[in-house]
Structure formats: structure tokens, C-alpha cells
Amino acid sequence: MVRRNSPSKNSLPGFKAGKKRFAVVVSRFNSEITEALLAGALECLKRHGVKKSDVFHVPGSLEIPLACAKLIEAKQYTGLVALGAVIRGETYHFEIVAQNSTVALTRLSVKHKIPIGCGILTVDTVEQAKERAGGKKGNKGWDAALAALEMAHLLETL
């Protein structure tokens, strides 16, 4: 198999943002975490030359797919970034939110052939979330934005 692209973990060599436009959908639930994810995602998009990124806030992670679906309908965006933080509690609600939000995003992405970088954290504790929102485990908001950028680039070349 021939490798046509092999970007580094934190950047995309050869990526040209041009007039590409991205939207970021971010949950207000667990806002201390999600706002840190948002900062990481916006920094990634900016560093890769994306001049226009629109941010949309929704109540929680279950509402992210509906907002993404509406944004896809608008046909204004090259890609989307979905950010949320689902922290395990004492009930089954964690599994429902985590699974349904991510499955819905995957279905939207495949159905409409648009990249959606999924930065919905699914963690056991607030400490784990903080580690992944700019702490020692990096910023998964950055990673989700980079995934959307990389897939947008790949889809252009296929």
C-alpha cells in the first residue's frame, strides 16, 4: 500500500485552508471543560489558516448532532467540530449520552460526506476531563479540529 499522506500528530503539512469555513458546535454542559476544548479547537483552526470559524453553543452533548445536521443543510461549511464533556455519574445516563451523541455524529458525517471532528469527551471524572482539555493529556478540542481539517484535506484529494 502506498501512503499518500502522513501528517504529524499536531499539524497538517500541505494543507491549504483557503476559503474553507468550519463550524464548531460546543455543549454548555460542563462548560469549564468545554470552553477549554473550544479554545483548543479554535487555536488549531487558526494555526492552520482557517480564517472563518463559526461557534454555536447547545445545551448538552445530545443536542450537538441536531445542530450539526442543521449546519450541514446550510451547505456553508467544509467541516464541523463537535465538542462536549460527558462525565460518568451514578446512573446509566452517561452511557446513553456518550453512545447516542457519537453514533449520531458518525452517521451524519458518513451520510453527508462531511468531516465532523468528534471532541466529545467520555470520562469517569472531572480530573480526567481537565487532563484532556488542556492538561497533561493535551487538548482533545485541538485534536478534533485537526481530525476535521485532515479529513477535509483527504476528501479533496480522493
Write the pLDDT tens digit of every residue in 13-55.
667 777 899 999 999 999 999 999 999 999 999 999 999 899 9
- Geometric angle at alpha carbon 129, from 126 and 133, rounded to 5°: 135
Q: What is the pTM of this model?
A: 0.91
Of the listed 48, 57, 93, 112, which one is catalytic?
Answer: 93
User: What is d(CA 52, CA 54) in angstroms, rounded to the nearest whole number?
Assistant: 7
48 is catalytic: no
User: What is d(CA 134, CA 154) in angstroms, rounded to the nearest whole number?
Assistant: 27
The predicted pLDDT at position 136 comes to: 93
**Residue 42 three-state SS:** helix
User: What is d(CA 135, CA 150) in angstroms, rounded to the nearest whole number?
Assistant: 23
User: What is d(CA 51, CA 103) in angstroms, rounded to the nearest whole number?
Assistant: 29
CATH for the 24-157 domain, from 3.10.129.10, 3.40.50.960, 3.40.50.300, 3.20.20.20 = 3.40.50.960
- The predicted-structure confidence for 79-130, as pLDDT tens digits, reads as follows 999 999 999 977 778 899 999 999 999 999 999 999 999 999 999 999 999 9
